[in-house]
Chain A
């Protein structure tokens, strides 16, 4: 079956750096997405990786290794507003989007 694994919950300190990992086993690969979802709100797009390597966008970076079925989202200079769930999702060979359960990130002052 197809599966995406992410840690359920992580805690970090304001101003620090945190890395959220995502591993996937899917039938083929056509891109990986990271979304941010604040409690009670809709997911919003953060990043997209289709080739191996690091994509940087301000305080957020996303890394992909297709050979290892692995990605991570790196958040720098953490702010309280970064407290949210982070969802990893992968397009398989049929462009079906497979979602992870999300990682709840708690930021402490």
Chain B
């Protein structure tokens, strides 16, 4: 079982570039999440999805977009990268609302 798989693990972007972080889960979970983790701060929710075709904003959605065309995939799009988006990004999934989250290995993004 692969669980939650994220790519790429590391990426350096120039200011203004765009990119997509990929996330796939093979556990048939309906709920999927994108978080960012900055030093000394708790995980911040960027976007989440409760099922294919349904997405919603989290706490810090500005500068990001998501889509959920299938149960398995939940890509995160960064448009016009800014230094403030330098962070570690985690994709996670859960079987249902209120249950434990399963995390991908993380994607470390640096914007210079």
Residues of A whose CB lies within 8 Å of any CB of B are 4, 8, 30-31, 33, 40-45, 48, 87, 89, 91, 95-102
**A42 and B104 contact, Cβ closer than 8 Å, known pairs A31-B98, A95-B98:** yes
**A99 and B43 contact, Cβ closer than 8 Å, known pairs A41-B105, A42-B105:** yes
CA A37 to CA B84, docked complex, whole Å: 23
Task: Report the 5 A-B pairs with minimum CB-CB distance, sorted nearest first.
Answer: A99-B42, A42-B103, A45-B100, A99-B43, A101-B42
- Interfacial chain B residues near A99, Cβ < 8 Å: 42-44
B76 CB, nearest partner CB in chain A, Å: 16
B57 CB, nearest partner CB in chain A, Å: 12
Q: How many residue-residue contacts, CB under 8 A, span A and B?
A: 41
A41 CB, nearest partner CB in chain B, Å: 7
Q: Is the interface of B mostly helix, strand, loop or mixed?
A: loop
Do A43 and B98 have beta carbons less than 8 Å apart? no
Do B90 and A43 have beta carbons less than 8 Å apart? yes
CA A44 to CA B104, docked complex, whole Å: 10
Do A101 and B40 have beta carbons less than 8 Å apart? yes
**A91 and B103 contact, Cβ closer than 8 Å, known pairs A4-B42, A99-B42, A99-B43:** no
Do B45 and A97 have beta carbons less than 8 Å apart? yes
**A33 and B100 contact, Cβ closer than 8 Å, known pairs A41-B105, A41-B106, A43-B90:** yes
Chain B's closest residue to A4 (CB) is B42
